[in-house]
Structure formats: C-alpha cells, structure tokens
C-alpha cells in the first residue's frame, strides 16, 4: 500500500470474539451455568466453557466455524449443534427441558455422582460410580475457564465404588466440571461442582 502524505495505513485481521446465549427452548428464559464443550471437526481439539448466571459465555478461541458444540445442563436434554448453525440463529442455543419423569430416569441412570457439593477448597470430594461397567476410566476436573486442573486414571471394578479426591488449598473458589471418559475416549458424563 502506497503512503499518502507520509501516513501508512495498517489493516489488521478481524478478531474472532464470539458471544453466545443459552435459552430454555419453551420459555426463552436464559439457562445459567450450562456446560459447553466445543470440539474442532478438523483437529479434534476440545475447549470447555461454563455459561454465566445469565446464560452467556464469550470466547476468542473458536477461530473457524468447523466446531461441534455440545451443551448440557441439569434438567435439560443435551444438545449437539454445529457452530455454523448457532451463528445463523443469532448465536442463541436453545435447550429442550426434560419432563419430570424423564429427569428422574436420567438421574437413576447417572454413571456417577459427586458429593459433597458445594465443597470447601481444602477438603475432599467423593465420586461414586453408581452405574458404570467395570473398566479403566479417566477422571478430569476442568475449571470454568476451560483449564484442565486434574486428570488421572481409575480402574473401576463395579457399581458403588467411590474415589476420593483431595482438593489442596490452591484450588480457587468457583465452578468446576468433573468428567468421566471411558476406554474408547468417549465422554460418559459431566457433573458440576462448586468450590467455596
């Protein structure tokens, strides 16, 4: 580009700052603290987010439209969408609520549950494997910003087995996601836990 009167104009690329909102598909009210997983179709890279109390989350990390977005929240059906379709719907993600009967069935079929919840930052959490097959599982704890806090393997020999995880005093207060991954690297279940 030729300079005019000694001035050089530099054009920068547009930043990929994206804003999303998660809503109840029936009431259109926002869904707070929903868990969001964004997986690149091309590279397989996964990023995690948690919506705020107003059902919103923002990111600069989704630089292409080739992502599958999986959104889950207690009381709602898990939704899997392509990022392109979300951007075409004004960056709104609508979750279908579970009816009470289905919700109770879903809880009964939960692979694991975490307790106590909330928990203080210098104690332990327990993960009770209530409905999983015997096998090797990966347990991951992820912060609300998507940072991997802890990851380890657990051999589960049967239902009712419990794993205790000690939280050191360095675990900051906030919301975290506990995930269980099976031997085929398939996400079995995610659960939220609040550290006070």
Q: What is the mean pLDDT of each run of 10 residues along the chain (196 residues)?
A: 56 68 89 86 87 86 85 82 84 80 52 78 82 87 83 84 80 83 86 79
Architecture of domain 18-100: Sandwich (2.60)
| CATH among 2.60.40.10, 2.60.40.2550, 3.40.50.300, 1.10.10.10 for 110-195 | 2.60.40.2550
Question: Do the domains 18-100 and 110-195 sit in the same CATH topology, yes or no?
Answer: yes
Give the alpha-carbon dihedral of 62, 65, 70, 75, to 10 degrees: 90
Per-residue pLDDT of 122-134, as tens digits, reads: 788 888 887 788 8
Distances (CA, A) of 25 to 22, 31, 133: 9, 10, 34
Per-residue pLDDT of 4-26, as tens digits, reads: 566 655 555 555 778 899 998 88
pTM: 0.52
Domain boundaries defined on the chain: 18-100, 110-195
């Amino acid at each position: 580009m030729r300079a005019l009167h000694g001035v050089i104009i530099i054009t920068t690329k547009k930043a990929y700052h994206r804003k999303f909102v998660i809503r109840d598909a029936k009431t259109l009210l926002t869904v707070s603290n929903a868990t969001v997983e964004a997986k690149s179709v091309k590279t397989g890279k996964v990023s995690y987010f948690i919506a705020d109390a107003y059902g919103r989350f923002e990111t600069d990390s989704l630089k292409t439209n080739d992502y599958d977005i999986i959104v889950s929240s207690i009381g709602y059906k898990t939704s899997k969408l392509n990022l392109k379709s979300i951007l075409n719907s004004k960056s709104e993600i609508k979750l279908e609520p579970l009816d009470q009967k289905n919700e109770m069935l879903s809880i009964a079929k939960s692979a694991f549950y975490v307790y106590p919840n909330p928990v203080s930052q210098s104690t332990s959490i327990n993960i009770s494997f209530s409905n999983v097959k015997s096998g090797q599982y990966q347990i991951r704890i992820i912060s609300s910003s998507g940072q991997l806090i802890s990851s380890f393997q657990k051999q589960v020999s049967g239902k009712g087995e419990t794993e205790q995880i000690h939280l050191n005093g360095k675990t900051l207060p906030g919301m975290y996601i506990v995930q269980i991954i099976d031997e085929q690297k398939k996400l079995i279940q995610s659960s939220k836990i609040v550290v006070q």
